[in-house]
Chain A
């Protein structure tokens, strides 16, 4: 099958396991984001795909061929490092042409390809500049162009945008995504910014403690998180304990009719997104709570409610501004269709 396949990939440093039994399939041409907290093994996993670290177990396959032990320089990939790693002794053009020069491509052809790539990254005419004289965003683009010079089979980026300021980062995210779609290249990006992952990816892979917690499309990850870690890590959420008996489930002391709980599950946790928590007049909803804080951000309004000893947050749009103030008693409406049942 075409694309990248990781089978049971494991990496140990001494007794410490940085990556645990990772199974992942990346079809040809998709854009995958590895997302997770610091130290969860994202870089390690990417370095194994690049061949810079060897897995201690498992296999890596590219287009059906086992590349687990193929040295990095024979993998035909393009990689952008967090530090960018542009060669300080070479000009912009020479940096971009490096992989072509190494492969013995003729001077004429090198120049043509460099010009092509420079215009792609909107830096035409910069070929003879030393890399030290570029701005952060320009360097970023040069690193991307250098990695794409040979049209690699696999495009890997380790936190490529983390050094940029927020505005430039958002612009580059969109640009990177458009570039990837135009070239149709299989791409893996490491990030710990979930907004970035949601913006760019076809598939988001959430990792924690060296394991994959969930791999799915961004909306799926957001709407149907696989476990409490994913629910909590991606966006804001309310995690609430529930108890179930044969007839129905109860949350915060009130029963929620219609909440589908897997048979035999006695207790667990539900996740409900803040925008799905609706505030009504007390008595109109099964759960009643007290408003503890209102944060009006202009674009959205966050209302914090204490109910049944638990802090809940509800988010609403300005046009549906709840008419509440701190200390007021409100009804909390939880629709069963918005609740995701998670194993605790």
Chain B
């Protein structure tokens, strides 16, 4: 459908409300944060308006570089784990009976209702030595004695994947349901086993959806700051943890704001790179 371009100022009327919401709740806070990131910290009080780069300068150290690197690495790993698990799962789900589909979707939605804190403590219990899953392995005779699985990188990764998986499935689900089932049938008649047809037809046909989902989970995981603290060692803390720490416990708002702005910029840069790479791949 073709629509006429707005002619008069009043034609923009319907935009007033969303624009107002966006400005009040997104542009203003974000602008404030950018401004604060250039303010000068006042050790005795809070901060004083100024225009200094020292918050950013302090950030350019090996320590923060490592934290930033780890945060990005963790988010990418979580995103890849989610995609690797969710694409085959959602594909099978979309081909299952209606009842099975509803049951699984309800179960996944109920995970969404759990708060990050509950997820964190549930997994820390499951990974503990005294009450954790290793006790089951001992009972099955696989292990000699129960061990603690947290704090560790694996524990952080597992819990964050668990938390992000329902989002991944729910985003992929509509695209997979819409995928023409005769495509895989055609692949099978042409000599591809079901697994081969999944990798040569389903995955490539859904490339754009998969890349978009990857970016979504990546950004989602980048904001996680509770799970790394509950389940990880200090070297597993993400930039989000440090930002929270600076903002709330050290009362260093300008520095926290600078880190947040930097994180946003890096994220935007990575997303842009992914999109450009995707375009290139498309054209080739």
Interface residues of A (CB under 8 A from B): 50-52, 71-79, 81, 83, 85-90, 98-99, 101-103, 146-147, 149-150, 156
Contacts and interface: CB of A to CB of B under 8 A. Distances in A.
B182 A81 contact: yes
Given A52-B188, A89-B205, A73 B183 contact: no
B191 A99 contact: yes
A102 B189 contact: no
A187 B236 CA distance: 63
B63 to A, nearest CB: 45
Interface of B: 180, 182-183, 185-194, 196-197, 200-201, 204-205, 207
A79 B186 contact: yes
B191 A87 contact: no
A98 B189 contact: no
A74 B196 CA distance: 13
A85 B193 contact: no
Contacts of B186: 79, 81, 85-87
B191 A102 contact: yes
A106 B182 CA distance: 27
Contacts of B192: 73, 98, 102
- Closest CB pairs A-B (n = 9): A85-B186, A99-B190, A79-B189, A85-B182, A72-B188, A89-B204, A102-B191, A102-B192, A89-B205
Given A73-B197, A98-B200, 12 more contacts: A51-B188, A73-B189, A73-B193, A74-B191, A77-B189, A85-B182, A87-B183, A87-B201, A89-B204, A99-B191, A102-B187, A150-B190
A78 B205 contact: no
Contacts of B191: 73-74, 76, 99, 102-103, 150
A83 B183 CA distance: 9
A98 B182 contact: no
B185 A89 contact: no
Q: Chain B binding site: helix, strand, loop or mixed by DSSP?
A: helix
Contacts of B193: 71, 73
13 contacts: A50-B189, A73-B191, A73-B196, A75-B189, A78-B189, A79-B186, A81-B185, A85-B183, A85-B186, A87-B205, A89-B204, A99-B191, A103-B191
A102 B188 CA distance: 10
Contact of B190 (A83, A88, A89, A98): A98
A85 B180 CA distance: 8
A331 B284 CA distance: 75
Contacts of B182: 81, 83, 85
B171 to A, nearest CB: 20
A136 to B, nearest CB: 17
Nearest to B184: A85
Contacts of B207: 89
Contacts of A156: 189
Nearest to A77: B189
A83 B188 contact: no
Interface centre among B189, B192, B194 (most CB of A within 10 A): B189
A51 B188 CA distance: 9
A89 B204 CA distance: 7
Contacts of B183: 85, 87
Contacts of B204: 87, 89-90
A99 B194 CA distance: 14
Contacts of A146: 190
Contacts of B197: 73
Contacts of B196: 73, 102
Contacts of A74: 191
Nearest to B181: A85
A52 B185 contact: yes
Contacts of B189: 50, 52, 72-73, 75, 77-79, 147, 156
Contacts of B187: 87, 98, 102
A186 to B, nearest CB: 15
Nearest to B208: A89
A188 to B, nearest CB: 13
Interface centre among A74, A79, A156 (most CB of B within 10 A): A79
Contacts of A50: 189
B185 A85 contact: yes
Contacts of A102: 187, 190-192, 196, 200
